[in-house]
Structure 1
Amino acid sequence: MNLKTKLILAIILMLGISINAQNEKTIKGVVVSVADNFPIPGVNVIVVGTTNGTTTDFDGNYEIKAKSGDVLQFSYVGYTTKTVIVGEQLTIDVSLKEDIAQLDEVVVIGYGDQKQKNVTSALTKIDSEEIQDIAVARVEDALQGRVAGLRIQTVASEAGGDPKITLRGPGSITGSSSPLIVVDGVVLGTDADILSSIDNNDIESISVLKDASSVAIYGSRGANGVIMVTLKQGVEGDTKFTYNTFTGYQFATDNKNFTFSVAEERARLDGLQSAVNSIVDPVNFARVNSRYDQAYAELAAWDYLSTLSGGEMDLQKEILPGGTITSHSFGARGGSELTKYSASVAFLEDEGIALADNFKKYNANLKIDTKSKSGKIKAGVNLRGSYNDQDRYLLDLLMR
């Protein structure tokens, strides 16, 4: 290739670069949110099919070089991605709409809201769908087996009895190890009875904080973890009514220690007579023989009572007859773009499994949220009422 040919190719190449550079232009604009028209900082702006890109500044402004016919893509977490074809304009302003599917993944934590995939602390979220259809008298009963490290121990056998709640084991030998309970951002304390005052159907979600992040905002009160309950809010649109109900029957399985007859128990005690007589140590013999005589005395009393009542009884069926559990919940939700409301009333009755055991719970809830047209002023009212009526006749008799 001679010098003349090389010179012509170089001129053609430079001319092509010059033409391409002349076609590029600087595009400027602002990216805002459709919801409130506020600028969105950090939006990714790229020319599709290239590595050319930029991000918006704090005021939502961006600047990028592109050619006519190029496609600009605008994307940001929590908003739907939008594309715009570059024409002859030099200014392209864009409005992004919130992505509802992504917003549904938001979880409530002690210091605000974050997307669940971005939360690095030990957090478990339970949605309302997972607990509202379970036939239980208390919220914490529905959480059993659903949160790793959450232990719900039954310490009261009566219907509606308060359980003992711990997260990742006891945090203190002498002090309380119960987690802090927060309802709609209001700290209510560590008393397990707080959760019994909430109707399962009013719950939107439950977030359980189990590590040091719970101390970040609540201090030493959250040292044993935090259970954060978010109640349902009103929705924009016509008023929608809901009615939820369930009924069930609960009973104790047969226990052979309660189903033997007087004759079977007398035969068992007679068979132990030789073992008792073979005890050599006088102190040990006196102790065992005293309990042996007491067992015979109780058997004689049982036999006498059976005679008076017309025959032997199945003690388990008499003391633990079983009972029904019934729940009724009625709710209404609705509102406008600026004001939303939610109201509900509920009744639950749990007869338990023990004789004369009964637990009744009455709930009422009213929640109103409103905001100004600009969205800068917000106000709300949250009223909750609860009344529990608990009968523990059998327990009272045993404690006397």
Structure 2
Amino acid sequence: MKLYSILSKSNYLLLFLFYSLVCSSQNPTVSGVIKARSGEPLPGVSVVVKGTTVGVASDFDGNYSISVPEVSTLVFRFIGYKTLEVDVSLKKSINVIMEEDINSLDEIVIVGYGTQKKSDITGTVASLDQERLESVPNVDISQAIQGAIPGISITTLSSGAAPSNDDTSIVIRGKNSILASNGPLVVVDGVPYQGQLRDINPNDVKSLEILKDASSAAIYGSRGANGVILITTKGGVEGKTVIKYDGYSSIQQLSNLPNLMDGEEFYNFKKDRDPDAITVSEQEIYDNKSWVSWPDIALRTGFSQNHNLSVSGGSKNTKFYTAFNLLDVKGIAKNDNYQRISTRVNLDTKINSWLTLGTRSTLTFGDQSGNSANFSDVFWMNPLTKPYNDDGSLNIYPWEEDTFWSNPLEGVYMKNTNTSTQIVTNNFLNIEIPSIEGLQFRLNTVV
């Protein structure tokens, strides 16, 4: 009887251990979708059971599925986002929204062949964050880079309203040539850009990276010898349609203007040097106190305004971003005006699991018509002269006795037309090879 009792107890013990082993091997499965705050799914997110080595990664659409004990914690990690811990608590479905980590975003940069952590890159890459592009009122890309990225030399020779590329020098790797260009290669959305930087609206730029060392030549060949500027424009994300407007207006005034003599001071100065040097027209203007200040006639208070309207959104298979921009700048010199009207269309359409069609198109109209005054003569011109005739027309020779001096305001009244229209479209076909994970083929057509 005792032997039978011991055997019975042993059988019950073995049955209990077997039942416990079966229960422990059949852990419940938790699944869900991982998205960013913008609604975009996050692929490649690490999902690990806390305190163990059990983990999975989310797929292309942000989906994940993992077997976990009933009482456990899941840890979600992704580069550029804050680590998130979620208590399972018998839940079968957990959808996660991850928050961007501003501090760690700087560790992610775009290179010519994809995205990498900055610590993994052997070359030198400088980044310009999107916040600076949007918060600072920049007329063009070169103004955004100037003073923001160390090691980049930007020299602007133009003081007018228009950001002229001909008067802007961008040097990344020093002056390597005496006669050839030292300017960098500009790549927009993966394609070398043949237009002008001033035609790119800074509000349309998502990220900007600069390859500063010789390793850029391994990607772009000899064209990258002077460095490479990589510009990635914004795209749509899955979710609700987002309408965004931002704009600004500003005034400009000339500072450190030389203290020039007015008509009375000039008359006394000239009279002291040579009493007989005063001409008849000068004496008449002095007696009538009708002398002029030529800088006051040629200059004005500048005014600029910038308006940007964008619409973005999309579904699971189609994402879009469209934007309209109006830039209107009136410089401090009269008739020094610049206007830029641009529109952009970025579209991505996923035909099936391995084929994606898209376009990156922009249309820009620029108007730089008009000439300003000749300021070399404006600051030298005699204040005891007449800029206009009695009927209000321009006086060609303001000083009757000295026809050497022509009117420095002639350029203001000349008819000058300087407009340009630029269309740049990059249409692409992206093919993912189903049999080889991570291998893609991209066909670009640029017009």
Q: TM-score range by the shorter chain?
A: 0.5 to 0.7
DSSP-derived class of the 2:136 partner: coil
Aligned to 1:170: 175
Q: Distance in 1 between matches of 2:136 and 2:292?
A: 35
Is this contact kept in 1: 2:126–2:209, CA < 8 A? yes
Kindly provide the CA deviation profile for residues 121-176 of structure 1, in whole angstroms up to 9, marking residues without a partner as x. Answer: 32221122212232332221122210112222122232113222222432221111
Q: Distance in 2 between matches of 1:369 and 1:396?
A: 50
- Report the CA distance shift for 1:302/1:363 in structure 2 as closer, same or farther (over 3 A): farther
Q: Distance in 2 between matches of 1:305 and 1:134?
A: 52
TM-score, normalised to structure 2, is: 0.59
Is this contact kept in 2: 1:349–1:361, CA < 8 A? yes
Shift of 1:326: 0.7
Equivalence map 1:243-258=2 (5 Å): 243-256=245-258
Q: Which moved more, 1:69-78 or 1:167-176?
A: 69-78
Q: Distance in 2 between matches of 1:244 and 1:44?
A: 38
Q: 1:381 aligns with which of 348, 353, 359?
A: 359
Shift of 1:246: 0.7
Q: 2:336 aligns with which of 348, 357, 382?
A: 357
- Report the CA distance shift for 1:240/1:55 in structure 2 as closer, same or farther (over 3 A): closer
Paired amino acid for 1:337: K
Shift of 1:226: 1.2
Aligned to 1:369: 348
Aligned to 1:219: 221
Is this contact kept in 1: 2:34–2:98, CA < 8 A? no
Shift of 1:102: 6.3
Q: Distance in 2 between matches of 1:305 and 1:243?
A: 57
Kindly provide the CA deviation profile for residues 189-231 of structure 1, in whole angstroms up to 9, marking residues without a partner as x. Answer: 4x6xx22111222111211221123222111111111111111
Q: Distance in 2 between matches of 1:145 and 1:309?
A: 51
- Report the CA distance shift for 1:220/1:366 in structure 2 as closer, same or farther (over 3 A): same
The answer to whether structure 1 residue 185 and structure 2 residue 190 are counterparts is: yes
Paired amino acid for 2:178: I
Shift of 1:243: 1.2
Q: 2:132 aligns with which of 130, 133, 152?
A: 130
- Report the CA distance shift for 1:266/1:123 in structure 2 as closer, same or farther (over 3 A): farther
Q: Distance in 1 between matches of 2:160 and 2:343?
A: 24
DSSP-derived class of the 1:347 partner: strand
Aligned to 1:10: none
- Report the CA distance shift for 1:217/1:260 in structure 2 as closer, same or farther (over 3 A): same
Q: Distance in 2 between matches of 1:115 and 1:210?
A: 16
Equivalence map 1:233-248=2 (5 Å): 233-248=235-250
Q: Distance in 1 between matches of 2:265 and 2:313?
A: 66
Q: Distance in 2 between matches of 1:309 and 1:152?
A: 50
Shift of 1:45: 8.0
Aligned to 2:309: 330
DSSP-derived class of the 2:131 partner: helix
Kindly provide the CA deviation profile for residues 20-79 of structure 1, in whole angstroms up to 9, marking residues without a partner as x. Answer: xxx9x999xxxx996799x979x898993xxx96999xxxxxxxxxxx999898887649
**RMSD, aligned α-carbons:** 4.9
Kindly provide the CA deviation profile for residues 78-111 of structure 1, in whole angstroms up to 9, marking residues without a partner as x. Answer: 49688999xxxxxxxxx99896636982321122
- Report the CA distance shift for 1:397/1:111 in structure 2 as closer, same or farther (over 3 A): same
Aligned to 1:144: 146
Aligned to 2:321: 342
Aligned to 2:262: 261
- Report the CA distance shift for 1:75/1:240 in structure 2 as closer, same or farther (over 3 A): closer
Aligned to 1:14: none
DSSP-derived class of the 1:101 partner: coil
Would you say how many aligned residue pairs link Structure 1 and Structure 2?
334
The answer to whether structure 1 residue 394 and structure 2 residue 395 are counterparts is: no
Q: Which has the higher helix share?
A: 1
- Report the CA distance shift for 1:255/1:46 in structure 2 as closer, same or farther (over 3 A): same
Is this contact kept in 2: 1:243–1:328, CA < 8 A? yes
- Report the CA distance shift for 1:74/1:356 in structure 2 as closer, same or farther (over 3 A): closer
Q: Distance in 1 between matches of 2:266 and 2:202?
A: 46
Q: Distance in 2 between matches of 1:377 and 1:308?
A: 84
DSSP-derived class of the 1:132 partner: helix
Aligned to 1:201: 203
Q: Distance in 1 between matches of 2:234 and 2:125?
A: 20
Paired amino acid for 1:183: V
Is this contact kept in 2: 1:135–1:247, CA < 8 A? no
Paired amino acid for 2:303: T
Q: Distance in 2 between matches of 1:305 and 1:188?
A: 61
Aligned to 1:7: none
